[in-house]
Copies of this chain bind each other. A is one copy, B any other.
Amino acid sequence: MRKLLIGLLFLICLNDYAQNTLISGMDKLKWEKIMPGVWKASFGTSGLNPLAYSNPPKKESITELSDAPFPFTKESTFSQLTPERASIRIPLGPFEKIYGLGLEFKGLNRRGGVYTLKVDHYGGVKGYTHAPVPFYVSSKGYGVLINTSKRVKIYVGVGNRKDSKRPDPIDRTTGKNWSAQPLSDAVEASIQGNGLELYVFTGNTTLEVIQRYNLFCGGGILPPKWGLGFWHRMHTKSSTDDVLQEISDFKKHNFPLDVLGLEPGWQSFAYPCSFDWDSTRFPNPEKFVKTLRNNGIKVNLWENPYVAPNSTMFKEIKPFTGSHTVWLGEVPDYTIPEAQKVLLNHHQKNHLDIGVSGYKFDEVDGYDTWLWPDHATFPSGNAAVEIRQIYGQMIQKILGDHLKKQNKRTYGLVRASYIGASSSPFVIYSDHYDHRDYVTALVNSSLSGLLWTPEIRSARSAEEWVRRFQTVCFSPLMQLNAWASGAKPWSFPEVTDIVRDNIKLRMDLLPYLYTAFYNYNQKGIPPFRAMILESGYNATETLIGGKLNGETNPYEEQKRMEVTDQYMMGSSILVAPVFTGETERKVVLPSGNWYDFYTGALVGNGETITIKTKLEQIPLFVKDGGIIPMLASKEGKGSDKPSLEVRHYGTKENIFQLYNDDGESFNYENGNFSLLELKVTKGKNGKLKGQSKIINNKNYSYGKVNWLWMSNQTKNGK
């Protein structure tokens, strides 16, 4: 007890750190409030501005959020310029957890780590990933964005300045609780450069901070409806006939197919790329795309940005390429508007005009062994390092804006992203392919304004096939990428029915999911998101280890154990994927009653439950009062006014505003969308009652609404 009190006193003293004003040799940052809950500070000069490749803030939506106060004292944030680096220092309280920093595949809380935020293949040092984002969110309810295209090196509660308040050192030989990482009172970060631009976002909850950041970057993307269907990428060497055969096989096996992706082999030359159709495998691209369109299938084209000498756009792009080649192809400098035009003209004429729906932009991330060196030069004069950092973001913006001008929504894939990606119509993917890490990435993506797909490529067993399929069905982009494997959804015949059922469930959930994306678009709420953004969730961490071992743990480091394998989809569904070999798993439930999605049974309330797994199902749980509008039947999907099956879980009253629109244009931005209010009220007898009401524009509303009371004895109410 006495120990506890001393510890408490110690922590109270430490709390003081966060507002310290002792720092010498640094300048105080000057913050300017630029909108409700958004502050800006800058010093020196910056290079390429990443926010210029994002969308403008949704100011009205930002204003609707709570205007929480600036999270620090004005005296406690610092900047410093040395001949080599521009650095900042932001206070950090002893209990704060720090999330974000981009598409990370391990853990959630970044505190205690040093991250070198570099766009790269995932791996190597911390912070090398496809979409490192110099934006972090504190559990205390604020976020910090370092808006730079230079590589940020960030020390998240690591290290202590000698002029800061800090703990007393402990003698390792005789003292107790010696740590290789003494508690630190700050986040410090720096870049090689002459200045920085910073933003602080606040909110009453961590979710609100994320919402505000997303809205500041233009809100979330609303994909075309087809983008939320089933995607299949062909083997790279496939020809027109192979594709037509595959489509026929999909029908035969009764699998949906919404988007067909072509890999390098669609091009006459690839790695580097010609961007031109291969006349042997695709002799008549126009007819090919049309045939697919007639089957209700969109075409998505793979490419990397490196231009082969035999490309029809080579001559025109050549004046705008950098000093070094990638796979012997030239590297366009797309910070130059003329270069963008060359790309867009070529792609419009050869792909978009004949109906191609979008792209998969590969190889915009890394490795150093493939891409241009840090010392490469580009005709714009922009630094090679900065161009690399924003290349993925830039190409998303160029294509996204181009199609928007044509009032066409797109949805595609990209292997690198960066700041302000929430409004970009692209989903990130990777070669990393560790299933558990892929789920962690899905969780983390929501903390950095990113969308991520744990696409399936292959599996070592039927069980793994199912488990990976289930995860991808509950992700922003449901794709089988068979570019190398040539796999089909039915590649493991013994589980084909299970795979089909899981895909069907995702397809049936389209009304619910599409509305989740609309809320992403309008309110910045990530459709798939980390549990820590859910109110009532207690983000527990456990520290294990810390025992000295001269071979394996010479620094007596503790390992942080976190729950990284569950997440929220839309307003009410908790997804708890299962990994190969797991016969049971733990699920941490936020406070309030939670119900099994499949049975409606009450499973727990604010507790950690252990469930037995079933191969057929991915565990899904719905919060009390959860309203889940689903397509009533597979056939319903195609019809003009599909019927709905609206499920309700638990005992609470609730309202769900179901969104719908034409599914492919930007007309919704002018109010051309439908909202169907689904309202559950409790009668005097305590019985739940469901009502539906069109509250905006009936054009895109649904047909018959059938209520299902999942947690009642009689499931079929009215």
Q: How many Å from the CB of A76 to the closest CB on chain B?
A: 17
A431 and B169 contact, CB distance less than 8 A? no
Q: Which residue of chain B has its CB nearest to the CB of A179? A: B327
B161 and A324 contact, CB distance less than 8 A? yes
A375 and B188 contact, CB distance less than 8 A? yes
With A and B bound together, what is the CA distance between A376 and B31 in angstroms? 24
Residue among A158, A181, A188, A373 having the largest count of chain B Cβ atoms under 10 Å: A373
On chain B, the residues within 8 Å of A265 by CB distance are 173
A114 and B160 contact, CB distance less than 8 A? no
Interface size on A, residues (CB 8 A): 83
Q: Which of B84, B158, B372, B548 contacts A385 (CB 8 A)?
A: B84
Q: Which residue of chain B has its CB nearest to the CB of A460? A: B551
Q: Which of B84, B128, B169, B269 contacts A309 (CB 8 A)?
A: B169
Q: How many Å from the CB of A261 to the closest CB on chain B?
A: 13
On chain B, the residues within 8 Å of A80 by CB distance are 375, 377
Per-residue CB proximity of A104-126 to B under 8 Å, as 1/0? Answer: 00000000111000000000110
The yes or no answer to A83 lying at the interface (CB within 8 A) is yes
A370 and B550 contact, CB distance less than 8 A? no
Q: How many Å from the CB of A492 to the closest CB on chain B?
A: 15
On chain B, the residues within 8 Å of A172 by CB distance are 236, 264, 270-271
The yes or no answer to A598 lying at the interface (CB within 8 A) is no
Q: Considering the complex, which residues of chain A in the window 66-86 have a beta carbon less than 8 Å from any beta carbon of chain B?
A: 80, 82-85
A153 and B551 contact, CB distance less than 8 A? no
With A and B bound together, what is the CA distance between A170 and B272 in angstroms? 8
Per-residue CB proximity of A491-515 to B under 8 Å, as 1/0? Answer: 0000000000000000000000000
Q: Which residue of chain B has its CB nearest to the CB of A192? A: B192
The yes or no answer to A206 lying at the interface (CB within 8 A) is no
The yes or no answer to A328 lying at the interface (CB within 8 A) is yes
B159 and A554 contact, CB distance less than 8 A? no
Q: How many Å from the CB of A101 to the closest CB on chain B?
A: 15
On chain B, the residues within 8 Å of A153 by CB distance are 373-375
On chain B, the residues within 8 Å of A368 by CB distance are 114, 155, 158
With A and B bound together, what is the CA distance between A309 and B182 in angstroms? 15
On chain B, the residues within 8 Å of A160 by CB distance are 324-325, 328
Q: How many Å from the CB of A480 to the closest CB on chain B?
A: 11
The yes or no answer to A65 lying at the interface (CB within 8 A) is no
On chain B, the residues within 8 Å of A550 by CB distance are 431, 457-458, 481, 483-485
Q: Which residue of chain B has its CB nearest to the CB of A383? A: B84
The yes or no answer to A178 lying at the interface (CB within 8 A) is yes
On chain B, the residues within 8 Å of A83 by CB distance are 383
On chain B, the residues within 8 Å of A176 by CB distance are none
On chain B, the residues within 8 Å of A181 by CB distance are 369-370
The yes or no answer to A669 lying at the interface (CB within 8 A) is no
Q: Which residue of chain B has its CB nearest to the CB of A236? A: B173
With A and B bound together, what is the CA distance between A550 and B456 in angstroms? 10
Q: Which residue of chain B has its CB nearest to the CB of A274? A: B171
The yes or no answer to A166 lying at the interface (CB within 8 A) is yes
With A and B bound together, what is the CA distance between A323 and B155 in angstroms? 15
With A and B bound together, what is the CA distance between A373 and B114 in angstroms? 9
Q: How many Å from the CB of A436 to the closest CB on chain B?
A: 15
Query: What is the count of identical protomers in the complex?
Result: 2
**Chain A contact residues: over half helix, strand or loop, or mixed?**
loop
Q: Considering the complex, which residues of chain A in the window 290-328 have a beta carbon less than 8 Å from any beta carbon of chain B?
A: 308-309, 321-325, 327-328
The yes or no answer to A10 lying at the interface (CB within 8 A) is no
A369 and B182 contact, CB distance less than 8 A? no
B190 and A374 contact, CB distance less than 8 A? yes
The yes or no answer to A624 lying at the interface (CB within 8 A) is no
With A and B bound together, what is the CA distance between A170 and B273 in angstroms? 10
Q: Considering the complex, which residues of chain A in the window 230-264 have a beta carbon less than 8 Å from any beta carbon of chain B?
A: 236-237, 264
Q: Which of B85, B159, B170 contacts A325 (CB 8 A)?
A: B159
Per-residue CB proximity of A524-552 to B under 8 Å, as 1/0? Answer: 00000000000000000000000011110
Q: How many Å from the CB of A118 to the closest CB on chain B?
A: 10
The yes or no answer to A167 lying at the interface (CB within 8 A) is yes
Per-residue CB proximity of A431-468 to B under 8 Å, as 1/0? Answer: 10100000000000000000000000110000000000
With A25-B377, A369-B112, A372-B159 in contact, is A548–B169 under 8 Å at CB?
no
Q: How many Å from the CB of A709 to the closest CB on chain B?
A: 44
With A and B bound together, what is the CA distance between A496 and B325 in angstroms? 59
The yes or no answer to A147 lying at the interface (CB within 8 A) is no
Q: Which residue of chain B has its CB nearest to the CB of A84? A: B383
The yes or no answer to A180 lying at the interface (CB within 8 A) is yes
With A and B bound together, what is the CA distance between A707 and B188 in angstroms? 68
A188 and B264 contact, CB distance less than 8 A? no
With A and B bound together, what is the CA distance between A551 and B322 in angstroms? 31
On chain B, the residues within 8 Å of A169 by CB distance are 269, 271-272, 308-309, 327-329
With A82-B377, A368-B114 in contact, is A162–B321 under 8 Å at CB?
yes
B369 and A323 contact, CB distance less than 8 A? no
The yes or no answer to A168 lying at the interface (CB within 8 A) is yes
A325 and B161 contact, CB distance less than 8 A? yes
The yes or no answer to A396 lying at the interface (CB within 8 A) is no
B192 and A369 contact, CB distance less than 8 A? no
B370 and A173 contact, CB distance less than 8 A? no
The yes or no answer to A163 lying at the interface (CB within 8 A) is yes
Q: How many Å from the CB of A325 to the closest CB on chain B?
A: 5
Q: How many Å from the CB of A641 to the closest CB on chain B?
A: 41
On chain B, the residues within 8 Å of A566 by CB distance are none
Can you list 21 A-B contacts with CB-CB less than 8 angstroms, sorted by A residue number?
A: A80-B375, A83-B383, A87-B375, A114-B368, A155-B373, A158-B373, A160-B328, A162-B324, A162-B330, A167-B328, A168-B328, A169-B271, A169-B272, A169-B309, A171-B270, A173-B236, A173-B237, A178-B271, A180-B370, A431-B550, A458-B551
Give 8 A-B pairs besides A163-B323, A169-B269 with Cβ atoms closer than 8 angstroms: A87-B375, A114-B369, A159-B372, A161-B324, A162-B330, A169-B271, A173-B278, A485-B551
Instruction: Pick the 4 closest A-B CB pairs, nearest first.
Output: A484-B550, A87-B375, A190-B375, A169-B328
